[in-house]
């Protein structure tokens, strides 16, 4: 950190080359944005601001390709809670486990739900409230019969309302903990890796700022007004010309906008170039 002085407003301040927020360093050695690691070095979802870009610390649930969007493989874990009534001021709640879920083995482990989200519905107010999960214990049997058991989760903030026993609730794991290559039209991209990532490795996924993307078919920006970028089904970038804007039709997820001037030009070999590029302003999470 370097001190500085803003003369126009007579304000003191600090300048930093890199800022870590919404998470913490775990003391296992620093990790560069172009590195992957078998060892976790920051808490999942840690936000890092560096130069013009923003990154999130992620875990690759599957292998990822460089400059193709990484999708969050988040499934809602929902069901009736344990047969315990929670009062205003309580900080520990139960998450019912689904023994038929694809991730049941991982979800039962202590710490899996850390930094995730918890919501209970039928309460006062009737819409419930969304809470951030601070920590979670290993799954154990509840006071009602549920084959999958329950995970006890500790919330960052105490409940502001009472939750009756067996109330319907939904929980979501931290989305940056379950990153996969996009393989479904029902997944959303939440980060972009700067290199190929091996499955079950930790990495910094870019979420905002100047970035480069793999083109889906043709270069972007070949027509006047063609400035927006969208993700195709494999996480590559497509032009706004490739998006269908028919009423009632589904549309691709927006990725950002082109930075480059994409007019036609002549290269160093005196050969005409049509223009187009994939250098764009990524706009997922600032």
Quick: pLDDT tens for 116-135.
Answer: 999 987 666 677 889 999 99
The pLDDT score that the predictor gives to residue 241 is: 81
Percentage, residues of the chain above pLDDT 90: 59
Render 221-264 in DSSP notation, one character per residue. Answer: --STT--EEEE-TTS-EEEGGGS---TT---PEEEEEE-S----
Q: How far apart are CA 23 and CA 54, in angstroms?
A: 14
The pLDDT score that the predictor gives to residue 249 is: 73
Rounded average pLDDT over 69-98: 91
Quick: pLDDT tens for 181-200.
Answer: 988 888 999 999 999 999 99
Q: Using the predicted structure, report yes or no on whether residue 87 has a pLDDT greater than 70.
A: yes
Contact by Cβ (8 Å): 168, 78: yes
The pLDDT score that the predictor gives to residue 145 is: 43
Rounded average pLDDT over 137-152: 74
Rounded average pLDDT over 105-112: 92
Q: How far apart are CA 276 and CA 220, in angstroms?
A: 5
Q: Using the predicted structure, report yes or no on whether residue 151 has a pLDDT greater than 80.
A: yes
Q: Does this model's pTM top 0.85? A: yes
């Amino acid at each position: 950190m370097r001190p500085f002085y803003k003369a126009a407003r007579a304000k003191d301040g600090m300048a930093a080359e890199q800022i870590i927020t919404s998470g913490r360093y775990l003391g296992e050695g620093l990790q560069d944005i172009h590195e992957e690691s078998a060892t976790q070095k920051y808490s999942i979802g840690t936000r890092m601001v560096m130069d013009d870009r923003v990154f999130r610390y992620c875990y690759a649930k599957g292998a990822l390709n460089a400059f193709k969007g990484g999708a969050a493989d988040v499934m809602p874990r929902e069901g009736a809670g344990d047969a315990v009534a929670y009062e205003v001021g309580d900080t520990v709640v139960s998450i019912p486990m689904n023994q038929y879920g694809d991730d049941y083995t991982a979800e039962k482990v202590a710490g899996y739900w850390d930094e995730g989200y918890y919501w209970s519905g039928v309460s006062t107010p009737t819409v419930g409230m969304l809470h951030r999960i601070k920590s979670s214990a290993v799954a154990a049997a509840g006071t009602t019969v549920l084959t999958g058991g329950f995970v006890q989760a500790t919330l960052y903030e105490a409940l502001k309302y009472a939750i009756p026993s067996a109330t319907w609730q939904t929980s979501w794991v931290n989305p940056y903990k379950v990153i996969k290559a996009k393989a479904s039209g029902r997944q959303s991209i939440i980060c972009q890796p700067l290199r190929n990532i091996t499955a079950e490795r930790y990495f910094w996924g870019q979420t905002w700022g100047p970035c480069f993307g793999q083109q889906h078919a043709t270069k972007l920006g070949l027509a006047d007004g063609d400035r927006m970028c969208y993700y195709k089904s494999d996480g590559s970038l497509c032009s706004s010309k490739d998006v269908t804007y028919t009423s009632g039709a589904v549309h691709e997820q927006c990725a950002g906008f082109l930075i480059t001037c994409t007019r036609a030009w002549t290269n160093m070999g005196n050969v005409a170039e049509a223009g187009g590029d994939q250098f764009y302003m990524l706009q997922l999470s600032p």
